[in-house]
Amino acid sequence: MSRDDAWKTFDRTAAEAGQTRIVDQFAADPERLARMSVEAAGLYLDLSKQSWTKAAFEACLDLAGASDVEARRAALFAGEAVNLTEGRAVLHPALRAAPGADFHALGEPVSAEVDAVRADMKAYADAVRSGAEAGATGRRFEAIVHVGIGGSDLGPRVVWDALRPLDPAIDLRFVANIDPRDMAEALTGLDPETTLVVVVSKTFTTQETLANAEAAKAWLAASLPAEGMTKHFIGVTAAPDKAAAFGCGRTFAFRDWVGGRYSLWSAVSLSCGIALGWDVFEQMLAGAAAMDDHFVSAPLEQNAPILLALAQVFNVDGLNRPARTVAPYAHALRRLPSFLQQLEMESNGKRVHRDGTPVTRQTCPVVFGEPGTNGQHAFFQQIHQGPQIVPAEFVIVAKTHADAPESPLWSNALAQGQALMLGKTTEAAKAEGLAQGLSEEEATRLATHRTFTGNRPSTAILMDRLTPEALGALLALYEHKTFVEGVIWDINSFDQWGVELGKVLAKAILKDVDAGGPSADLDASTAALMTRLMG
């Protein structure tokens, strides 16, 4: 089937599915749950509450086939230049492969280098934890301040929050915002003699990261002997010379075929490898590698990342639903929505196809979320009764804490998915009011306010416990999902030019500020705002 024909069938079946109710599809298709659920790398995905009919589900699979998802997947794992605007391979799977793998980037062998960097990371992490690697005055490191932004911050931060012990041996804090308050909060209560600063920047030119690194350097310099400063300052970068010139005593490298938002598997997460312990970090890598194996080997119809991607494409392009909420029912996963905002929206928020022609369909939806049950008391009102239909994704952990009863948490997640699908009719709402003792008039008046239209889709992703392996599998699942969507939309998921323009203009505005005021060619609104802010 040609790609054009696949899209036509997709559109037709989507229009038909839009006229049906999800709950009715279970009766029409007794095999629905089995067909639309899958187990992969310790995760269980249930997509049976999505809006697709059996015919629409099959049309989505045909679209994936016609879009050459399998061939493009092979190109990614082969290290071809899938990031075509920058001429780069995209090889985050190489970073979590078992030692001795054989990945190539544009024909160059890279696995030996990955293994060597990983061995260096392990040795350094073990040395810091044992006290063999100590600070300028010989005292053990008790805290790490991780300085980065974007992919150099969000990935390690979600890993730390998800896996940190309640009483960590090494305190790990993160600084991303250029607002000095962020650094001040991170440094409060820390002792420079026992604090390690890890500066993460791919290019070592990122404005926010360098400004924060300078602040951290000044804080250390005020208390430490100059000759020992470098013991406290570590760089993680693809530009080690720049890191060394900045004052980093040691650097850990990663290559330009590691995109920022895909880099948590690399030395970017050195801080986590130290603070969590190297065994924990390696277990997370193993979980991600297991998801890689599934993604490469499973057929389209039982491939977890592909099915998750197709559900999103179906909602966005088939049913015009330009937003999706992610609700992790585990406090430790509270930063997952923020991580996914960057992963998905920076990857697939694109306006042109790979050949540079404008897109004619929607691409990435707006992604937002909060952990359950917090979100239920905030934006869930809108997703249940608002006029827009917002697909929901529930990430559910059966056992989040050793001593806590779990059913109140995951029962809420199951109830939300059920309520979104079933809804409540006006008749049922009126009968409920009467049963509560309301008068006929009052029950009738309130019934429409208590009506839920239902027929709103959701996906459930389940895991038994939030182990390092499960976390690795979950994050890799979303990475591959994002890639598949880009293939189907025929866009480049691996550049981020939209991030650059604002950075360039910010530098120009700073020049104007340093010069004493707005330049003549600045627009009237921006000039007026600058003038007011300068006082």
Closest CA to 456 of 363, 365, 386: 386
Q: Is the dihedral of CA 83, 88, 89, 91 positive or negative?
A: negative
- Is residue 521 a contact partner of residue 505, using CB atoms and an 8 Å limit? no
DSSP assignment of 470-516: HHHHHHHHHHHHHHHHHHHHT--TT--GGGHHHHHHHHHHHHHHHHT
- Helix, strand or coil, per DSSP, at residue 234: strand
Distance separating alpha carbons of residues 224 and 247, to the nearest angstrom: 14
Distance separating alpha carbons of residues 535 and 530, to the nearest angstrom: 9
β-sheet bridge partners, residue 399: 465
54 is an active site residue: no
Provide φ and ψ at 18, rounded to 5°: -65, -15
Cα-based torsion angle of the residue sequence 331, 457, 262, 292 in order, rounded to the nearest 10 degrees? 100
494-to-44, 172, 330, 348, 405 alpha-carbon distances in Å: 28, 29, 29, 8, 42
Question: Of 344, 346, 393, 469, which one is the catalytic site residue?
Answer: 346
For residue 70, what are its two tokens?
Answer: 């399998």
Cα radius of gyration rounded to whole Å, the chain: 25
Question: Of 377, 449, 507, 511, which one is the catalytic site residue?
Answer: 377
58 is an active site residue: no
Amino acid identity of residue 210, one-letter, is L
Angle between helices 468-489 and 278-297 (to 10 degrees): 40
For residue 483, what are its two tokens?
Answer: 């890639």
Distance separating alpha carbons of residues 290 and 282, to the nearest angstrom: 12
Distance separating alpha carbons of residues 258 and 152, to the nearest angstrom: 11
Question: Of 8, 449, 503, 507, which one is the catalytic site residue?
Answer: 503
Amino acid identity of residue 391, one-letter, is P
122 is an active site residue: no
Q: Where in the sequence numbering do the catalytic residues fall?
A: 346, 377, 503
